[in-house]
Amino acid sequence: MRQNLAAAAAILAVIAVVMLAALLAGSGTLLYAAEGNTSTSDHTDPSSIAVMTTEEAETILPLMEDIIGLSYDSVYQISIDDPEYAARYLAAYENSVSRLGTNIVKISLTKTDINTYKKEASSLDTSIQIILNDVVRLEEIDELKKQYAAEGNILGSFSLEAESLLIRNELALTAMNYADSADIMAQIAAYYGLDVSQLQDSVLLINQIITDATSGKITITTDSSGKLIIKDTSGSSINTDTSGLITLTVYPVKGYYGDKILVSGIASNTGSILSIYWDTNLWGTVAKDTEGVFAKSMTIGRISEGIHAVTVQSEGITSKPVYITILSKPSVVTILKDEQENGELHRKLTLYGSLRTEDDIPVVGAPVTVYSEDHINIGTGITNANGIWNVSAELIDGGYAFYAVFDDPSFPLEGNTSELYPVTILNPTIYYIILAIIGGVLIILIVRFAVRRKPSQKQTGKAGIIPQQIIASEPAIIKVIKEIFKNEKDADDLDELRRIYTTTVVFLASVERIQNIAVLTPREILKGITVSTEYIRDFMSTYEYLHYANVIVTREQMKRMETLSKLIIEGYNET
């Protein structure tokens, strides 16, 4: 018996030391994943995490096909002047693009033509949204023009005409961007055997929509090679300065995120403050001097990749547009550190990271989304002036790994995914329990070592007193250790815990009429309960901790779960 106890104590000491070392290190192989509680050697190699599965691979082509159909549906609704239904189809389109992007990450297709298809689909989404907004705004402007004419509001009429000019310029550029994205998408989709006729038809619909929305001031046709021909039929070319009162120079006309562009010129018979626009978006303001000269350095920020029109406007007078080309550059997203604190139900984890360009320029105001290694969305953070973002979530104890994704086409930056960042979440009190176990085990080992080296009974003198004192204290120590083992449960207790949980949940499901409880998590079942009492919340959160955290269930915890179960059932029976 003593030999068995010593062997058990030695084994326990080794296990405890290994557990403590792993916890203190905080960056080794994960204990288990965010979902599924699995641990594999692949956790140490981020590049091997994404493995193609049949289910995910089979969704790629159907999603690509859905995107083609929904793009046509969205454009068609705009063409029949139904912006409400156009917005609904566009929301469905965006959802399909998002799902495609998620599966592309899951099965490691980020460096393939399918990811290019997804990128162009995002650009197509932006174009449709711009056209929808501009068409609606032009209709509003037409009504306001009639009102201002009746009121004799000349300044207001000038402002409306200037805004109309900006919108017409933007629509012309958007038509080109839409056609370019649709052409790339059609080539890729055709390669995979998909029908691209609706995508091609949507380009023709877009051209007609813009012609109708501008009352024929802009016409868009295609030549024999399929190239777009855009004409301003209002009596002047799109590139003609109709006011002649603001001259504009922009240098350089190409740039990347973070680059400076000088906007300068001369304005006469205008207000002292001029507004600078890219397309229809206000970029900034600038004051002219007494000679009418103005100049301001503008920074390329959240402007999508492609061609954009820069104009200067004041009191209804608009300059001739100057076209600039915004180029894309790689981005770098990184998870830097994590912090943990007690949350409402579990430990609150906060991840901090950065988003920068490849030449180390911080990206400002950009969304970064964090996922668990099994691709569950944890949350999205927005970068600050230093390119720093953070995302928080409450999680049960265990080992996790996360990665961050930046993929926003409104920035002239290529999407990027961070490396996996491992995190171990553990309540600090568990550290003390482990340390106490280690201390107790070490005492036992020291005592047994001393007992084995005690002097022979034949020896005389005071030398024999110390071993006798140690021997006298041994039963008490062993009694304490035995009590620890006595309070801990083995694997059979997990079955008892599941029995208590199943009995309670089945009862709640029958009362609350909750369906499919076999596939629902404790949190999902809790959401389906109409009146959640403190007993129910305590029961669910305690079970979630005991079941998923992979801890030993003590006798006191089991009794508490039984008590809570009885209180829940009795509470419903009383009502």
Residues 164-194: tens digit of each pLDDT:
888 988 898 898 889 999 999 999 999 999 9
User: What is the model's pLDDT at position 405?
Assistant: 93
What would the pLDDT profile of 16-58 be if each residue is shown by its tens digit? 555 555 444 443 333 233 333 333 333 333 333 333 444 556 8
Domains annotated for the chain, with CATH where assigned, are 49-221 (no CATH), 242-327 (2.60.40.10), 329-425 (2.60.40.10), 490-574 (no CATH)
pLDDT (0 to 100) of residue 451: 64
CB-based contacts of 257, cutoff 8 Å, min separation 6:
300, 301, 329, 357, 361, 363, 411, 412, 413
Give me the pLDDT at residue 520, please: 83
Provide the CA 493 distance to its chain's centre, in angstroms.
Answer: 39
Q: Each residue of 88-119: pLDDT tens digit?
A: 999 999 999 988 988 887 777 878 899 899 99
- How far, in Å, are 78, 435, 440, 485 from residue 478 at the CA level? 81, 18, 10, 11
**Other C-beta atoms lying within 10 Å of the C-beta of residue 561:** 21
Q: What is residue 234's predicted lDDT score, i.e. its pLDDT?
A: 60
Provide the 3-class DSSP secondary structure of residue 286: strand
Low-confidence ranges of the chain (pLDDT < 70): 1-57, 221-228, 231-244, 427-432, 448, 450-493, 550, 575
C-beta of residue 281 within 8 angstroms of C-beta of residue 302: no
State the amino acid at position 121 in one-letter form. Answer: A
Please provide residue 554's backbone torsions phi and psi, each rounded to the nearest 5 degrees: -85, 165
User: What is the structure's pLDDT at 535?
Assistant: 87
Q: In sequence order, which residues have a C-beta less than 8 Å from that of residue 263 and are 6 or more positions away? A: 248, 249, 250, 276, 286, 295, 296, 297, 298, 310, 312
- C-alpha–C-alpha distance, residues 363 and 356, integer Å: 5
Q: Which of 214, 136, 212, 237 has the alpha carbon at shortest distance from 168?
A: 214
Element (H, E) at 145: helix 113-151
Name residue 477's amino acid. Answer: I
Q: Whole-angstrom Cα distance, residue 201 to residue 71?
A: 10
CA diameter of the chain: 125
Q: In angstroms, what CA-CA distances link 264 with 185, 318, 403?
A: 38, 14, 44
**Which pLDDT belongs to residue 374?**
82
Contacts of 65 (CB under 8 A, 6+ apart): 189, 194, 195
Residue 307 has φ and ψ, to the nearest 5°, of -95, 135
CA distance 84 to 3: 80
Q: What is the pLDDT of residues 126-144, one digit of tens each?
A: 999 999 999 999 999 989 9
SS3 490: coil
Q: Supply the pLDDT for residue 392.
A: 93
- Give the Cα separation of 148 and 485 in Å (integer): 87
Residue (of 95, 84, 97, 105) closest to 124 by Cα position: 97
